[in-house]
A and B are shown apart, each in its own frame.
Chain A
Amino acid sequence: MTPETRARIEALFERYPEKRGALLPAIYLVQAEKGWVDAAATRELAELFELEPVQVHEVLSFYNMFYTEPQGRHHVYVCTNVPCSLRGARSLLRGLEAYLGVHAGETTRDGRITLGHEECLGSCGTAPVLRVDGAYHENVDFADARRIVDGLE
């Protein structure tokens, strides 16, 4: 954890009646440093929040958007819940799996892309939808998806 991150976390405390309220926002800040939260960062967070490391770890593993393992440089997620599935999201995902040579949940060998599927993203009216490094791409077909993926360094 860099001193800047630590300072930004400490500035969050006053927003909440109890310091622990700032834990989720703090994890986001730590995770932004290298894309996932390692054991050392978990310990530092625990110390800062006066918790046991296992308590921080429990929180980390409860939420889908926190990562406790190294990730690809980019995240590509396809929503596969019912409304998206009705509009072809699953063949889109299969297509991307074949194109990238990985299964959903895996990272390409060059460490470029972690592919995954997600539950409803609140974009069912513009299905299928991809979430790429946090940004939504709506109404995509396979050609769009391939173009988006090709554009990732």
Chain B
Amino acid sequence: MQSEPFVKNYLSEHYGDDAYRTLRGYEAKNGFEGIEKALTLEPEAVTEMVKASGLRGRGGAGFATGLKWSFMPKQSDRMKVVVVNGDESEPGSFKDRMIMERGPLQILEGILIGAWAMGAKRTFVYVRGEYREPIRALEAAVEEMRAKKYLGKSCFGKKGFEHDIVIHSGAGAYICGEETGLLESLEGKKGQPRKKPPFPAQHGAFGLPTTVNNVETFAHVPFIVSRGVEWFRQRGTEKSPGTTLFGVSGHVERPGLFELPLGTPLREVLGLAGGVRGGRRLKGVMPGGLSMPILPPSELEVGLAEELLAPKGTHLGTGGVMVMDESTCMVRVACVTSYFFRDESCGQCTQCREGTGWVHKLCEKIESGRGTSEDLALLDDVPSFMEGQTICAFADAAAWPIQGLLRHFRADFQAHIDEKKCPFSESFEL
């Protein structure tokens, strides 16, 4: 099990308490107050509440959760389904794992609130296959809830509120985090993303009306319902309320998770993580996982919320903050990054399949000292061909970090070409 976050707030307040994973421990800490309150309200009122809270999805795209719930058909002769995205494979992200291991019942309670609001009968929680411990924690929690009749024909004794939750293990493929790739995978197929429309609310898992939300998104929901919209909005920014678990990794003294309000300045997050290791100078920070463009040290005052990062040319993504010190060769970072995206492209779209291959080849060539100015010019061009014309956003996610590295650390690339070798002798090795 992952050790508890260094800084806690409402979500992780009890993550140090092993009993919090059990029904008894969870109920001792006011667990299930959210679902109990929700069941006294009309389903639409619950969706309205989530809308008013301003909760945004924590899976990377930051979409408004209440709005997404309202896309589900009100009346449907087909079963409605909730799908929970626990695929967490974005490099730099390790927060969903924490929530699944130490707060599984928060997620399950949030699911039930969503199921009540949307009239869904079945939930599938899709967890990446490598997450053995989180899967066990969720399965144990579901078992306990079934035994207590919190799940089943009349959940929490509410007549007509039937729901069951299935924990489903993925099998190692980054693209299954993309919601329609996930749905294909859940159906027992290759995880290749679908063309949209139709959107999941019309044609989702097994063709049924479906809402997909991230694990963390659901974990916030019980707090919103039990403590209220006003309370929730006291944290974070106007446009991005609430907290998140920022995952800080790389060259800091104290890497780990920090639950902080959205909008917390990057400088403060770095400070809490003990600053750059060994008193070295900072070189760059990727603020939202490997898919998001890097920031230079001059941007340390930026607040970590989508609306504050977007004007700086990057995004909050999953809140995975990767820190790199002065020793780091940014061409090597580009090599590792482009290798990952080349390997994980599902191959359906030509631009993505070919583009990721090209980018990786060019990065390797430049790193090895064989690169030319023409190669660098090509590296400028290829990512822009990949953006925005593909079946899913993976191609953007592959292009953005490379563009960010070129924007802020072009000198690193140029130096490899000029010196015909990698000039960063102290850098992490390839």
> Is chain B found bound to chain A in the same assembly?
yes
Residues of chain A touching chain B, judged by Cβ–Cβ distance below 8 Å, are 15-18, 20-25, 27-28, 49, 58-59, 62-66, 80-83, 85-88, 90-91, 94, 118-127, 131, 134-136
27 intermolecular pairs with C-beta atoms under 8 Å apart: A17-B205, A18-B206, A21-B206, A24-B171, A25-B168, A58-B190, A59-B189, A59-B190, A62-B191, A63-B129, A82-B92, A82-B250, A82-B333, A83-B91, A86-B328, A119-B91, A119-B343, A120-B92, A121-B130, A122-B93, A122-B97, A122-B130, A124-B250, A124-B255, A125-B2, A126-B255, A126-B256
CA distance A58 to B255 in the complex (A): 39
How many angstroms between the C-alpha atoms of A20 and B128 in the bound complex?
19
Q: Indicate if the CB atoms of B94 and A125 lie closer than 8 Å.
A: yes
Question: Contacts A21-B187, A122-B88 given; 18 further ones with Cβ under 8 A?
Answer: A21-B188, A28-B171, A63-B172, A65-B129, A81-B340, A82-B340, A83-B92, A83-B249, A87-B249, A119-B89, A122-B94, A122-B130, A122-B131, A124-B92, A124-B94, A124-B247, A125-B249, A126-B255
Please, which residues of chain A bring their CB within 8 A of the CB of B90? 120
Question: Please, how many residues of chain B have a CB less than 8 angstroms from a CB on the other chain?
Answer: 61
Given contacts A65-B130, A83-B250, are A59 and B172 in contact (CB under 8 A)? Answer: no
Per-residue interface assignment for chain B, residues 329 to 340, with 1 indicating a CB less than 8 Å from any chain A CB and 0 otherwise = 000110011001
Do the beta carbons of A123 and B2 come within 8 Å of each other? yes
- CB contacts (< 8 Å) of B343 on chain A: these are 119
B250 interface neighbour in A86, A118, A121, A126, Cβ under 8 Å:
A86
Per CB-CB distance, the 5 closest pairs between chain A and chain B, nearest first, are: A23-B188, A64-B172, A63-B171, A124-B249, A120-B91
Q: Which residues of A contact B232 (CB under 8 A)?
A: none
Which A residue's beta carbon lies closest to that of B79? A17
Determine whether the beta carbon of B336 is less than 8 Å from that of A81. Answer: yes
Q: B428 and A90: CB pair below 8 A?
A: yes
Q: Write the chain B residue with the least CB distance to A56.
A: B188
- Cβ–Cβ contact B340 & A119, under 8 A: yes
Contact A20 B92 (CB under 8 A): no
- Are A125 and B247 in contact, CB atoms less than 8 angstroms apart? yes
Given known A27-B171, A127-B255, contact A122–B249 (CB-CB < 8 A): no
**Do residues B187 and A18 form an inter-chain contact, with CB atoms below 8 A?**
yes
Inter-chain contacts of A80 with B (CB < 8 A): 336
Q: B392-430, CB under 8 A of A: which get 1 and which 0?
A: 000000000000000000000000000000000000111
Query: Min CB distance, B353 to chain A, in Å?
Result: 14
What are the residues of chain A within 8 A of B129 when measuring CB–CB? Answer: 28, 63, 65
Nearest CB on A from B58, distance (A): 14
Query: A64 — which chain B residues lie within 8 A by C-beta?
Result: 171-173
Given that A81-B340, A119-B344, A122-B88 are contacting pairs, would A15 and B189 also be in contact in the complex, using a CB cutoff of 8 Å?
no
User: Is B345 positioned at the interface, with any CB of A under 8 Å from its CB?
Assistant: no
Of all chain A residues, which has the CB nearest B88? A122
Cα distance A120–B88 when bound, in Å? 9
Annotate B75-97 by CB proximity to A: 1 below 8 A, 0 otherwise: 00001000000001111111011
Chain A residue at minimum C-beta to C-beta distance from B176: A63
Which of B2, B174, B188, B190 is packed against the most chain A CB atoms within 10 Å? B188
- Which residues on B sit within 8 Å (CB–CB) of A131? 130
